[in-house]
Amino acid sequence: MRAVDIIIKKREKQELTSQEIEFFINGFTNGDIPDYQASAFAMAVLLNGMTAHETKDLTLAMAHSGQILDLSNIVDVVVDKHSSGGVGDKTSISVMPMVAACGLPVGKMSGRGLGFSGGTLDKLESIPGYRVDLTTDEFKQQLKEKGIVLTGQSLDLAPADGKMYALRDVTGTVPSTPLIASSIMCKKIAAGATAIVLDVKVGLGAFMETLEEGRKLAKLMVDIGHLAGRKTVALLSDMNQPLGSAVGNSLEMIEAIQLLRGQAPADYYEHCLHVAAHVLVLGGRAKDLSVGRAMAEQCISDGSALEKFRVLVQAQGGDISYVDDVSKFGHAKYIKVVNVPRSGFISQVHARIVGEAAVTLGAGRAKKGDPIDHAVGFIIHKKVGDKVKAGEPLFEVHANDEKKLEEARDSVLSAHKFSDEFVSPLPLFYE
Ligand code: URA
């Protein structure tokens, strides 16, 4: 078998066999198949798609590119939650400590930023010292002792995804249903999660712009989860406008920590309670969503979720003084407040434009392995449906370069649309 023939076959819109997919993923993982062939493969998949059968094979091949953790001798259930990617989406950072504080073991393997969408690992790394490269033994040990792990792909867990993810980020091959489904689900399968809540984002700032595409991705991932014997549910949530206020790594970390103190923008707080309730139900700790929600609220008000987060940060080598005092997070050199240009109602805050502007500021990568600037980003003050008066603050730009600041300010201003008529707020969840 040759990699080039597999690429050509996909280019010609033919269905790949399980053996071909396995050959390609194994070769890519061990370095026999170079990045340029893997990029061409990813582009062929993006352009020509994959059948459900091929997607399942791809997921299993990537999951088996490393070890598959069996955690049954450590804990009875391990929950995970994963987002399909969005702007300002720091949900995992708040929700995982919440559910762990409610007694559910959390073992999660997250990803880095992808295109215009931020990544949990990049956000966590804005805490100095926080390690996202735990070994399998460390993963198991921490899960057993602390009941919470939030790490990235290691050399021994789904390494094929780690490599493919980094390539997709910089080769225009992110928004592909089979590539997203396999990337997310191989990590869940490898990390041994027994109950998985998928937060599938839909809208202008999501890889799936329509409800129909979102449903397709959700169904595919739920089917793969069931095939692998994992309890899996998917929620379809809004990503037309950024979630919460903060966009950018440190800024989002601060907002996620503030949520654990009960101080967060209303949409983000509500989103987290709902997702946490689903995780608690699926993990068998809550009998229904209203009980799950009450548990999630309680762990914030009694401080146990924040304490769990401190435990997590300490266990993974992070400096917990940042959790206790968020003013320690690195600040950008320039902070510019942009005001509302005209009175009326906000009718759009285009999430993708905001996400792309954050990448321009340095919050994401243009090339594989590029360093990122944790301090830059935006604070978005207004939501769709808000009534606004000219002159009040609309958003803040946090930048380390004056020219980039100007560029980002113009694009984020253009992401906002105004109307004289009343505009309904956007729903948080669709299904
Ligand atoms: N999250 C992932 O882990 N992979 C994707 O491809 C998209 C979102």
Cα 85 to averaged position of ligand 1 atoms, centre (Å): 6
- What's the total number of domains in the chain? 3
Residue 84, ligand 1, Cβ within 6 A: yes
Residue 335 located in a structural domain = yes
Looking at the fold, whether 354 and 399 belong to one and the same domain comes out as yes
Please say if the pLDDT value at position 57 is more than 70.
yes
CA distance 346 to 229: 45
- 279 and 298, same domain (yes or no): yes
Q: Where does the pLDDT of residue 117 fall: very low under 50, low under 70, confident under 90, or very high at 90 and above?
A: confident
From ligand 1's centre to the CA of 183, what distance in Å? 5
Average model confidence (pLDDT) across the chain: 95
Q: What is the mean pLDDT of residues 166-194?
A: 93
Percent of the chain scored above 90 by pLDDT?
A: 89
Whether residues 145 and 210 share a domain: the answer is yes
**Can 161 be counted among the known catalytic residues?**
yes
Q: Does residue 415 form part of some domain?
A: yes
Q: Is 184 in the pocket of ligand 1 (CB under 6 A)?
A: yes
Asked if residue 401 and residue 341 are part of one domain, the reply reads yes
Domain-embedded: residue 429? no
Q: Over 70: is that where the pLDDT of 62 sits?
A: yes
Residue 59 has pLDDT above 70, yes or no: yes
**Among 112, 183, 196, 201, which is best to mutate for testing ligand 1, by the most ligand atoms less than 8 A from CB?**
183
From 263, 298, 324, the end of a domain falls on 324
Q: Do the domain assignments include residue 143?
A: yes
User: Considering the entire predicted model, what is its pTM?
Assistant: 0.92
153 lines ligand 1 (CB under 6 A): no
Residue 25 shares a structural domain with residue 134: no
Same domain, 221 and 318: yes
- Pocket lining: 183 vs ligand 1, CB cutoff 6 Å: yes
- The verdict on residue 431 lying in a domain is no
Q: What is the mean pLDDT of residues 156-166?
A: 91
State whether the beta carbon of 198 lies less than 6 angstroms from ligand 1. Answer: no
Q: Is 187 a catalytic residue?
A: yes
Atom of ligand 1 nearest to the CA of 84: 8
Lowest mean pLDDT across 240-244, 324-328, 362-366: 362-366
Q: Would residue 32 show up in a list of annotated catalytic residues for this protein? A: no
What is the per-residue pLDDT across 200-245, written as a single tens digit (0 to 9) for each?
999 999 999 999 999 999 999 999 999 999 999 999 999 999 999 9
Atom of ligand 1 nearest to the CA of 174: 6
Quote the pLDDT of residue 152: 87
| pLDDT at 155 (0 to 100) | 67
Centre of ligand 1 to C-alpha 234, Å, is 14
Q: What is the residue with the minimal CA distance to atom 1 of ligand 1?
A: 84
Pair (311, 368) in one structural domain: no
Predicted pLDDT of residue 408: 97
Angle between helices 3-11 and 18-29 (to 10 degrees): 130
> How much is the CA Rg of the chain, to the nearest whole Å?
21
Judgement on whether residues 347 and 411 belong to the same structural domain of the protein: yes
Of 243, 193, 239, 226, the C-alpha closest to 82 is 193
185 C-alpha to center of ligand 1: Å? 9
> Which CATH number fits the domain that encloses residue 96?
3.40.1030.10
Mean pLDDT of 148-166: 88
- The larger pLDDT score, comparing residue 170 to residue 271, is at 271
pLDDT value, residue 423: 98
- List the CATH number of the domain containing 44: 1.20.970.10
Is residue 168 annotated as a catalytic residue, yes or no? yes
Could you tell me if the CB of 114 is within 6 A of ligand 1?
A: yes
Q: Does 424 map to a domain?
A: no
Of 272, 301, 324, the residue at which a domain comes to its end is 324
Q: Which of 50, 62, 84, 112 to mutate to test the pocket of ligand 1 (most atoms within 8 A of CB)?
A: 84
Check pocket membership of 147 for ligand 1, CB cut-off 6 A: no
Instruction: With beta carbons less than 8 A apart as the criterion, state whether 218 and 53 touch.
Output: no
CA distances from 321 to 17, 302, 326 (A): 52, 20, 8
* Ligand 1 center from residue 112 Cα (angstroms): 9
Averaged pLDDT for residues 373-393: 98
The gap from C-alpha 6 to its chain's centroid, in whole angstroms, comes to 30
Q: Is residue 212 domain-shared with residue 275, that is, in the same domain? A: yes
Closest to 356 (Cα-Cα) out of 415, 270, 304: 415
The residue whose CA has the least distance to atom 6 of ligand 1 is 180
Q: Is any ligand 1 atom within 6 A of the Cβ of residue 162?
A: no
Of the three residues 304, 324, 344, the one that is the final residue of a domain is: 324
Q: Which of 90, 163, 187, 278 is catalytic?
A: 187
Same domain, 338 and 311: no
In a domain, 66, yes or no: no
Between the CA of 186 and the centroid of ligand 1 the distance, in Å, is: 10
Please work out whether the CB of residue 176 comes within 6 Å of at least one atom of ligand 1.
Answer: no
Q: Residue 101: its pLDDT value, please?
A: 98
- Choose the residue to mutate in 46, 82, 237 for probing ligand 1, maximizing ligand atoms within 8 Å of C-beta: 82
- 428, part of any domain: no
Residue 398: what pLDDT? 98
91 CA from centroid of ligand 1 (Å): 15
Q: Note the pLDDT of residue 366.
A: 78
Sign of the Cα pseudo-torsion (100, 104, 107, 113, in order): negative
Atom of ligand 1 minimally distant from the CA of 187: 3
How many Å lie between the centroid of ligand 1 and the Cα of residue 386? 31
Query: Is the domain of 304 the same as that of 411?
Result: no
Quick one: pLDDT at residue 367?
Answer: 77
Cα 111 to ligand 1 centre (Å): 7
Q: What is the mean pLDDT of residues 166-181?
A: 93
Give pLDDT, residue 115.
81
Q: What spatial distance separates the first Cα and last Cα of the chain, rounded to whole Å? A: 43
Distance CA 425, CA 174 (A): 29
**Domain limits at 373?**
330-419
Tell whether 359 and 249 lie within a shared domain: no
Task: Please give the number of the atom of ligand 1 that sits closest to the Cα of 180.
Answer: 6
